[in-house]
């Protein structure tokens, strides 16, 4: 009992707990999910949550985390855990510098903690893994949104069980905009669509299969977009903005379009790039976001395009299908949208500003500097307003998407060379491939206190691949 904590034993299903109901399914022989014919399910867009009230400074929301049943595999019901019972959770629309306050009520029978991924948030609202909401309790999270417009997401972050809770459905989009971005001619309104991409595996009865002990992280054999398996989506012959979130626990994707057409990438985790980048393929690790424009005007009405995953095989090689229709009538008849040649300037942080450098090695399957997470140990102690350079050196044989809370950073170099243009914007998660060394630079502004940083392969995170920094 000295090597494993009680939480480890619960996690791997070795002792009873509130979560045992969840485990019988994972111990069953895994034969693959019931079949789903690709592109037969219509994609939905998660609902936008309306505030319960507003005042001069703040929009107030209320969310209840609760179980719900959803038909994901046709003819079967799957029990998910959802924010307001929705999978993915409802989208929250926020504005830069306008506060959002969310009362999160936990009507599940497990502890939860809600983290705004990409949020520049005081520690008290950051969803620290041990800052838990007990079943039946609630907590108010306050987000100042004193940050650039970007596609963020909120998801569960509870100690040791983040992977399970996110897999069960606790994740949703949180999109920040501002007047500057509104004034740009980018596709907007019904032509600006989030795509939450996740993989899941199902038992024959429709229940979810999960295994927290998977060394490489848990990967499902079905790809879901906004909660639907390999859906189709009707698009008009015009430009669309898609905000793609890799909300998978462990799976990496390499996207391409079946027509060979390029994506026009306009943003990354932390918002718009300084200039658009045309890309034939885009690789996305867990928690990373890419903001892009696809122009369907070149396609003929009635044709279809598949969003492929070049890292997948069989049922995971195709993500979704776009079905091209004529443009709508009325005020949307013309496509007045365009992608400006310059977007929002990203000022490179001069390396000379850094006063401290730190090295973090990624070893074993879940260690940082040869240690697993210890809430009683501070692993880095940046001063408020200090700029620091952190080096991630991957000495393991696996990819580790490294994520920092609190700040957006910039990738300084990848194996000594500059990052590609599309990775040179603001980031909060950077994949560190096996053997790679990546340096990031960032400034710790506004808030003091305790934050975590970790591998965003959620099974790695839960196995201890997490550390913490105290800003003072």
Q: What is the DSSP letter of 460?
A: H
State the number of binding residues for Cu ion (CB under 5 A): 6
Interface with Cu ion includes 252 (CB under 5 A)? no
Among 454, 457, 465, 469, binds ligand C2O (CB under 6 A): 454
CB closer to Cu ion out of 152 and 235: 152
Among 33, 41, 73, 117, binds Cu ion (CB under 5 A): 117
Nearest-approach distance from CB 405 to Cu ion, in angstroms: 5
Distance (Å, rounded) from C-alpha 198 to C-alpha 169? 10
Closest CA to 353 of 419, 402, 409, 404: 409
Interface with ligand C2O includes 289 (CB under 6 A)? no
At 222, is the secondary structure helix, strand, or coil?
Answer: strand
Among 223, 287, 306, 432, binds ligand C2O (CB under 6 A): 287
Interface with ligand C2O includes 400 (CB under 6 A)? no
Tell me phi and psi for residue 15, to 5 degrees: -130, 160
Q: Kindly provide the b/e burial profile for residues 235-248, where b requires at least 16 CB atoms within 10 angstroms of the residue's own CB.
A: bbbbbbbbbbbbbb
> 218-277: which residues touch ligand C2O (CB under 6 A)?
none
CB closer to ligand C2O out of 241 and 454: 454
Interface with ligand C2O includes 427 (CB under 6 A)? no
CB closer to Cu ion out of 231 and 425: 425
Nearest-approach distance from CB 452 to ligand C2O, in angstroms: 6
Interface with Cu ion includes 158 (CB under 5 A)? no
Report how far apart, in Å, the C-alpha atoms of 19 and of each of 26, 108, 134, 163, 377 are: 12, 10, 14, 13, 28
Query: Count of CB atoms within 10 A of residue 394's CB?
Result: 22
Among 194, 460, 468, 471, binds Cu ion (CB under 5 A): 460
Nearest-approach distance from CB 285 to ligand C2O, in angstroms: 12
Residue 365 interacts, among Cu ion, ligand C2O, none and using kind-specific CB cut-offs from 5 to 8 Å, with none
CB closer to Cu ion out of 222 and 460: 460
At 11, is the secondary structure helix, strand, or coil?
Answer: helix
Q: What is the distance, to the nearest Å, from the Cα of residue 73 to the centroid of all Cα atoms in its chain?
A: 23
Rounded to whole angstroms, the maximal C-alpha distance in the chain is 69
Residue with tokens 């424009």: 293
Distance (Å, rounded) from C-alpha 32 to C-alpha 93? 37
CB closer to ligand C2O out of 222 and 454: 454
At 376, is the secondary structure helix, strand, or coil?
Answer: coil
Residue 287 interacts, among ligand C2O, Cu ion, none and using kind-specific CB cut-offs from 5 to 8 Å, with ligand C2O
CB closer to Cu ion out of 262 and 395: 395
Among 11, 115, 139, 238, binds ligand C2O (CB under 6 A): 115
- Give the dihedral sign, CA 449/429/461/370: negative
Nearest-approach distance from CB 245 to ligand C2O, in angstroms: 10
Closest CA to 284 of 294, 266, 271, 269: 269
Give contact residues for ligand C2O (rule: CB under 6 A): 115, 117, 155, 157, 287, 403, 405, 452, 454, 456
């Amino acid at each position: 009992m000295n090597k494993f904590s009680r939480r480890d034993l619960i996690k791997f299903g070795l002792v009873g707990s509130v979560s045992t109901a969840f485990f019988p399914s994972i111990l069953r022989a895994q034969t693959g999910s019931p079949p789903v014919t690709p592109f037969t399910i219509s994609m939905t867009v998660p609902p936008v949550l309306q505030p319960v009230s507003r005042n001069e400074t703040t929009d107030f929301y209320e969310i209840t985390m609760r179980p719900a049943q959803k038909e994901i595999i046709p003819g079967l019901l799957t029990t998910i855990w959802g924010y307001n019972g929705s999978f993915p959770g409802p989208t929250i629309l926020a504005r830069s510098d306008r506060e959002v306050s969310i009362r999160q009520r936990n009507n599940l029978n497990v502890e939860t903690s809600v983290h705004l991924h990409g949020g520049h948030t005081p520690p008290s609202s950051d969803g620290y893994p041990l800052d838990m909401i007990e079943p039946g309790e609630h907590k108010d999270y306050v987000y100042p949104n004193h940050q650039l417009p970007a596609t963020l997401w909120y998801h569960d972050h509870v100690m040791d069980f983040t992977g399970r809770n996110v897999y069960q459905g606790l994740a949703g989009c949180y999109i920040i905009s501002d007047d500057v971005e509104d004034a740009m001619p980018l596709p907007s309104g019904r032509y600006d669509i989030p795509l939450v991409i996740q993989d899941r595996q199902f038992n024959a009865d429709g229940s979810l299969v999960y295994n927290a002990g998977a060394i490489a992280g848990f990967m499902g054999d079905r790809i879901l977009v906004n909660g639907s398996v390999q859906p189709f989506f009707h698009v008009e012959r015009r430009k669309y903005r898609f905000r793609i979130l890799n909300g998978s626990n462990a799976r990496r994707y390499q996207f391409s379009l079946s027509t060979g057409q390029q994506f026009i990438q306009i943003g990354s985790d932390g918002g718009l790039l300084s200039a658009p980048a045309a890309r034939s393929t885009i690789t996305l690790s867990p928690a990373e976001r890419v903001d892009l424009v696809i122009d369907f005007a070149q396609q003929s009405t009635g044709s279809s395009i598949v969003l492929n995953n070049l890292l997948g095989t069989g049922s995971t090689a195709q993500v979704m299908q776009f079905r091209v229709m004529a443009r709508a009538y009325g005020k949307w008849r013309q496509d007045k949208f365009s992608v400006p040649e310059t977007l929002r300037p990203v000022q490179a942080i001069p390396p000379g500003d850094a006063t401290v450098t730190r090295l973090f090695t990624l070893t074993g399957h879940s260690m940082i500097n040869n240690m697993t997470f210890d809430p009683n140990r501070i692993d880095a102690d940046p001063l408020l307003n200090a700029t620091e350079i952190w080096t991630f050196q991957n000495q393991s044989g696996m990819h580790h998407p490294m994520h920092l809370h609190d700040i957006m950073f910039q990738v300084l170099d990848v194996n000594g060379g500059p990052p590609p243009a599309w990775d040179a914007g603001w980031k909060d998660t950077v994949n560190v491939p096996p053997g790679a060394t990546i340096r990031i630079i960032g400034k710790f502004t506004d808030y003091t206190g305790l934050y975590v940083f970790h591998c965003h392969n959620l099974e790695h995170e839960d196995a201890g691949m997490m550390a913490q920094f105290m800003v003072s």
